[in-house]
Structure 1
């Protein structure tokens, strides 16, 4: 936990100036400065590679500390930074509006409006989605680490300001989708950040909600990060909806920015209602995916490959790069584990060079539990590649056939020509391109906004009218697609 004394710096936006909560935040970093803050490259020297094998093996633990920021890290940081400032912009502790906000719940505030107006929340939502192991949590920890945990204020200009400002807290979503359990976690984290003794929990849910509201307000919480949101128990009747309702209340009534971090099932839950999806992604939606074997992967693998504690350095070749990518399927965590296991296995041998065969052997040991998943990902990628090759071949074959038939068909006066049918050619070329795209699409089901639309239309008195409104009933296709 980092409690820092407030150091005030002029805010960039004029409307933020004079707000100690914003002026106490770190100076805005340039992209270059941000990369330095988000990265960590473990130390490594030639002398370490000349130590005894049993000592060199211990140095391999440094591989876990490698932090190579990717482009999405910068975008996510900017979204978090903007959300914190936006939330604080309406909570100036020197304003009568904020005093009214601190002392009265939204539904029980007096009718006398402060001279600066009633509090108008500016909370927002950020969502980070990605498969397990792609580095979501690691990315968030690096981003949040750029901000202080708590800022202690005492004097702002000529104003006494005895308060502690909690910039961020991070909690895990409870497995049972319990509002009570989430409240307890939030209270515990706030107590820890503020340096308080554990707060005695209220006995009933209504009192607990009042308690959590008062504590969040008084601590001037900047952003609430909730990890493992895929834990929402959809099977438990109303559990997920109640918890999401509680979280959205924090955004709507208290103006607290929320960041959700979850595995892919969570985005399906959000998409059930436009309201939930809109709130959750109002300040950014980040899909953290497995890396492609491109320049971003090269950026990471070149830094990883530098960390060799073998007694002979193995240069990174295209073959080794591709092999490690294939084995790890672009997952940074798996790549580090395979590379570490390869060195652990070979250190102390007569020949300590790293080869493709060694990486394969290391993968069979280091990622046994992940083998089923990685094999499935490789299989899906192979099928996608084959689809693309097959479609390209078919299109070329059809073009060649059409060209040959055009040459062979010669008009002879007085002789009727019979044009043979060609089943390989589209009978309606005006639809061909759109249908080809759909045939090869990997996200076909995601493109269908409402898979039950036809059933819904069948239940209507005027089914065609509903289909027209949804834009899926085309009365004049030849005019539209010609």
Structure 2
């Protein structure tokens, strides 16, 4: 966790100035610098690719650490950043309004109004919707990780200010959709962030809600993020409505910004109530979809492809890029898993080049339970959009890439752990007796020096009897078995 001592910066908006909760946040960054902060590119050194196979297999676990920000990351970050500042703008700890807010519940505050007025909540809602595997949780981890978990204040402009501010809190929606279950998770997370012994939850729902509200107020929570909101139990009578009602009371009474993260059909649930939908999207609604085969995919695949621990580096081509896109249907998580499984299968073999057939084999290992859903995505996707960046080389292979079924898992054939033969991959040696020599020739940096007569076939083509020319040169054998057994 990131615990920071408060360092104050002048706010951009005049109405945010002289508010230590806002001025202790990091200064606003330009998009370019922000993208760097939200990214993480694992190391992949040439020396690592030359290690023994058993060591290189360990390195491919780094693939899952790759974080390549997409344009939606910036949009969601800006929404979170604005929501936190907006929520804090009504809770200046130096204001009489905030003192009244901290000490009294909304229905218990005295009739004597503070000199700066009664507390007016400025909470809002943000919703992020997307299918499993599109990168919602990874995106939120990167965005929230930019902010400190807590900020400790001691003095602000020579005034004593002994408070600890929790900037963000993230919990998962309970499976039973219960308010009690969610309250317990929030309490546990608050204690963990503050690094204090766990506080015993109240025994009744009413007391528990009052306890939660008091804790949230005292730690000056900036934003509450609730993941896995698709866990709302629609079958349980009133469960979803009660939980949503509780959450919206946090917005209305405490001014706490909420961020919902969920898979469909959570969006359908929200749309049934105009009130719920309006609140949930008041500061942004973001629908994360599978990547298209366009510049976003290029941004991701170019970074992913750099992470090769095979002993030979395979350059990225349009054909390889499209093959991995096709196999993963643009799902970032599936693409990483397929690329990882492919390298794991190739490392230690005689030929470790990444080919389209090798990627298919990797997909057959990595994608099993998900196969029906992937096939469904392929059937529903508009083929015109899929080929938006199509090239002539891909069109020549259209029979291969437009098949609506994942290729049947090919069998893996090995010979003493040296030769890996993937059926359909004609670029690999399929005969053990020739494999080592063919691979060494392919990888040779002085191949031209090993060719005694580089113009032999061109010259033979001009002769009256080309085959006789090849026989004379010793490169054509009508009976190779007889020739090879002469020794």
**What band does the TM-score fall into relative to the shorter chain?**
0.7 to 0.9
User: Structure 1's 385 and 165: CA in aligned 2 closer, same or farther, altered over 3 A?
Assistant: closer
Q: 1:245: how far off?
A: 0.3
Gapped regions of structure 1 (runs ≥ 5): 389-482
- In the alignment, what sits opposite 1:413? none
- In the alignment, what sits opposite 2:20? 20
> 1:39-66 CA deviation, whole Å, 9 max, x = no partner?
0000111111111111111110110110
Q: Distance in 1 between matches of 2:157 and 2:222?
A: 22
- In the alignment, what sits opposite 1:169? 169
- In the alignment, what sits opposite 1:202? 202
Q: 1:163: how far off?
A: 0.5
Q: 1:382: how far off?
A: 5.5
Q: Distance in 2 between matches of 1:382 and 1:46?
A: 40
- In the alignment, what sits opposite 1:186? 186
User: Structure 1's 41 and 385: CA in aligned 2 closer, same or farther, altered over 3 A?
Assistant: closer
**1:134-149, aligned counterparts within 5 Å?**
134-149=134-149
Q: SS of the counterpart of 1:29?
A: coil
- In the alignment, what sits opposite 2:304? 304
- In the alignment, what sits opposite 1:354? 354
Q: SS of the counterpart of 2:83?
A: helix
Q: Distance in 2 between matches of 1:320 and 1:382?
A: 21
> 1:258-316 CA deviation, whole Å, 9 max, x = no partner?
00000011000000011000000000000000000001000000000011111111111
Q: Distance in 2 between matches of 1:196 and 1:2?
A: 15
Provide the TM-score with structure 2 as the length reference: 0.78
Q: Distance in 1 between matches of 2:381 and 2:195?
A: 50
Q: Distance in 2 between matches of 1:341 and 1:385?
A: 28
> 1:155-205 CA deviation, whole Å, 9 max, x = no partner?
001210001000000000011110000000000001111111101111111
- In the alignment, what sits opposite 2:155? 155
Q: SS of the counterpart of 1:106?
A: coil
Q: Distance in 1 between matches of 2:383 and 2:193?
A: 50
**1:12-161, aligned counterparts within 5 Å?**
12-161=12-161
> 1:363-422 CA deviation, whole Å, 9 max, x = no partner?
011111111111111111257779x9xxxxxxxxxxxxxxxxxxxxxxxxxxxxxxxxxx
> 1:116-174 CA deviation, whole Å, 9 max, x = no partner?
00000000000000000100000000000000000000000121000100000000001
Q: 1:3: how far off?
A: 1.4
- In the alignment, what sits opposite 2:449? none
Q: 1:2: how far off?
A: 1.7
Q: Distance in 1 between matches of 2:127 and 2:164?
A: 27
Gapped regions of structure 2 (runs ≥ 5): 389-487
> 1:198-220 CA deviation, whole Å, 9 max, x = no partner?
01111111111110010000000
Q: SS of the counterpart of 1:93?
A: coil
Q: Distance in 1 between matches of 2:2 and 2:340?
A: 32
- In the alignment, what sits opposite 1:430? none
RMSD (Å) for aligned C-alpha atoms: 1.2
Higher helix share: 1
